[in-house]
Amino acid sequence: MKAYSFISWRFHASLMVLVTFVAVATFAGPPLICHTFDIGSAKSLPWVSHDWNLSGSETYDTSKLAADTTTILASDSTVLVHMETLRRATLYARKDPTAAKALFATLTGATKSARSSAPPALSYFDIGYLAEAYKQWLGKDSQNPAIGIDGYALVKQALQLRGSDPQMEFAAALITLGGATAEHQQHVQKALAGASADPLLARNLSSHFIGDQGQTIAQMLSNPAVARERKP
């Protein structure tokens, strides 16, 4: 009887490991990094890769990363443009620690400057979103200038200042994927509800995470069981 119980326990444990592996593998990478956001014809950082990642053929001068990124963010208040621009900036920042630090310092300084033209909500959003993107792509080593920063808390503060913004709720839903289920689902529901009046957000929610296979982004975010398994 004891031998049977041990074998049964080992079988169920192995099965749970397999289920968890499949659930995590479904996403194929950090959600803030490995999915290109549709921004239509809006301007963002230069990008020559046909995939989400750097191809190695980019010639972008990363010494201009902070200046170029902040210029783009200041010229367009569309949250999805900010998300895609900060995603590209994070990919460039990984190969240039000096640029990574300069960008984060510049965005942080904008919230402290009375001369900043950016709305307070977007300023907090940009810092919070970049901190979470850095966390997923730069990790916890010394090259990550956002270590110790709670990016999600800043995004929630931005939501309080901004009010109803389904695109920002979408960003918060991606950040909390694998986190607290109740908060995550609240962000998902608000993003889905707002998509009916926001064609750009609707296109992003109906897209697939990578390629044309698997769940759509909306389906991925709406599955709380899988979301709990996805921890960046």
How far is CA 139 from its chain centroid?
Answer: 14
In this prediction, residue 109 carries a pLDDT of: 87
Tokens of 141: 């080593």
- Greatest alpha-carbon pair distance for the chain in Å reads 74
> What is the full per-residue pLDDT of the chain (232 aa) written as tens digits?
444 443 443 333 333 333 333 333 344 579 999 889 999 999 999 987 666 777 666 788 999 999 999 999 999 999 999 999 999 999 999 999 999 999 999 999 866 654 455 678 999 999 999 999 999 999 887 789 999 999 999 999 999 999 989 999 999 999 999 877 899 999 999 999 999 999 999 999 999 876 666 789 999 999 855 544 444 4
pLDDT of res. 15: 34
Q: What residues does each domain of the chain span? A: 29-229
Which sign does the torsion angle of CA 26, 37, 50, 107 carry?
Answer: negative
Report the C-alpha gap between 207 and 34 in whole angstroms: 13
